[in-house]
Chain A
Amino acid sequence: DQQVKQNSPSLSVQEGRISILNCDYTNSMFDYFLWYKKYPAEGPTFLISISSIKDKNEDGRFTVFLNKSAKHLSLHIVPSQPGDSAVYFCAASDSWGKFQFGAGTQVVVTP
């Protein structure tokens, strides 16, 4: 039962433009949401998170938006850089700290 879904397996964006990654969830018990970035042959690394009491969180070029009524979150990367080419995972956690991850979106930033 996949409760966190990333419906776009891949995204290609030009350097300098905005990348928008989307994630949907079904479990209303999730109260914390995270984005991870993964390069080949490495473990995922934490990027940015948001609590269910907020609707936006910014960290430099990265902004996460949460729409609780729609059970939807998105990650904006502005401006996109070649080093942003990676797989991005959306994850959701309940209050027990039990995580569920989406299938990932492969981002390719082209010159």
Chain B
Amino acid sequence: NAGVTQTPKFQVLKTGQSMTLQCAQDMNHNSMYWYRQDPGMGLRLIYYSASEGTTDKGEVPNGYNVSRLNKREFSLRLESAAPSQTSVYFCASSEVRVHEQYFGPGTRLTVT
């Protein structure tokens, strides 16, 4: 039982490059989330998926797209990376009614 896994752990991109961050959970949770963490800003919600087949925007969705591939997997795509997207990205999952979220270890992304 690995919980929430994220790949890659680290990534360096040049401005304008694209990439996909992968997230998978093995807890049979319905809801999945993508957050970014920046100094002094806490965790900000980018996108979430309340259940398989649905996705919704969070606080800071611009520049990102998501795909809920199946119940286990939720990916985050940067189509054209910008330096402002330099951040640590966390994926999380939860059973909606329980509310408690389980987080992955994070992906540290640097855009130069």
Contact = CB atoms under 8 A, between A and B. Distances in A.
Contact of B99 (A9, A32, A43): A32
Contacts, number: 61
Interface in B31-65: 31, 33, 35, 40-45, 48, 50, 56, 58-59
Binding site of B, secondary structure by majority: helix, strand, loop or mixed?
strand
B100 A44 contact: no
Interface residues on A, range: 20 to 34
Contacts of B102: 46
Interface stretch (A12-20, A70-78, A100-108): A100-108
A43 B48 contact: no
Interface in A29-77: 32, 34, 36, 41-46, 49
Interface residues of B, number: 27
A9 B31 CA distance: 30
Interface stretch (B12-20, B70-78, B79-87, B103-111): B103-111
Contacts of A91: 43, 101
Interface of A: 6, 9, 32, 34, 36, 41-46, 49, 89, 91, 93, 96-104
